[in-house]
Amino acid sequence: MFNGAVRRDLREDLIAAAVRMLAEPQAVAVPSLRAIARACGVAPSAVYWHFPSEAELRSAVLDAQYDDMVTSIEDALDAAGGDPLIVAGKAYIDWGLAHPGAYQLLFESDDAIPETRAPYGPRLQQRIVSLAAAVPGVDPFPAALLLWSAWHGIVSLRLHKREWAWGLTTDEANELVVRGLSAPRG
């Protein structure tokens, strides 16, 4: 027997439980071993010949995707002229939008990167810090974090809020962010 009071309390309890659960960061999952095996046309047991656990597969995926992203940014910097911060931001944003699932796995998941994968974070971070060092009058490390935060925001919001009327292209947004950092301070 359900009456209105019980239902209302349960409804409030359900909402409160969901809110509590959302307060904790959530992991973004790599496809299951079974799904990956199915996509390759092999039995799930075949995956275990190459990856003893889902964690090992996840690490290999993180390695491959992070390396691809950083290499894309480095290649763009090596190939392009112009402001290196704008070039790096464009490459970062373009890669994120072209690889939405990988981007979410790398940067929108609460999963800790194992110590064996530790060089990846600093590799990108150090490259952005070295580029930010060219901006006069700013401390390169906080400037790099600010840029990375802005680039991440552009990617994340473009991935998740496609229905918004942005009014700016991603290139225009990136340029505004970089120019804002480089603007003279009074």
pLDDT, one tens digit for every residue, the chain (186 residues) = 455 555 567 777 877 787 777 666 566 667 778 888 888 888 888 888 888 887 788 778 888 888 899 999 999 999 978 889 999 999 999 999 999 888 888 887 765 555 544 455 677 888 888 888 888 888 888 888 888 899 999 999 999 888 888 889 999 999 999 988 877 666
In this structure, which amino acid lies at residue 117?
R
Provide the 10 A C-beta neighbour count for residue 43: 11
Per the structure, the count of domains in the chain is 1
Kindly state the DSSP code that residue 115 receives in the 8-state scheme.
G
Neighbouring residues of 17: CB distance < 8 A, sequence distance ≥ 6 = none
Residue 71, domain CATH: 1.10.357.10
Provide the 10 A C-beta neighbour count for residue 2: 7
State the residue for tokens 């060089």.
Answer: 119
How far from 48 is each of 35, 42, 53, 55, 110, CA to CA, in Å?
13, 11, 7, 11, 26
**In this predicted structure, what is the pLDDT of residue 34?**
83
**In this predicted structure, what is the pLDDT of residue 181?**
82
d(CA 181, CA 137) in angstroms, rounded, equals: 10
| Nearest CA among 86, 100, 65 for reference residue 150 | 86
Please name the residue ranges forming H helices in the chain.
Answer: 4-22, 33-40, 44-50, 54-79, 84-98, 100-107, 120-132, 140-160, 170-182
Rounded to two decimals, the pTM is: 0.79
The residue range of the domain holding 128 is 4-182
Burial class for 12, CB neighbours closer than 10 Å (0-12, 13-18, 19+)? exposed
Count how many residues are written for the chain.
186
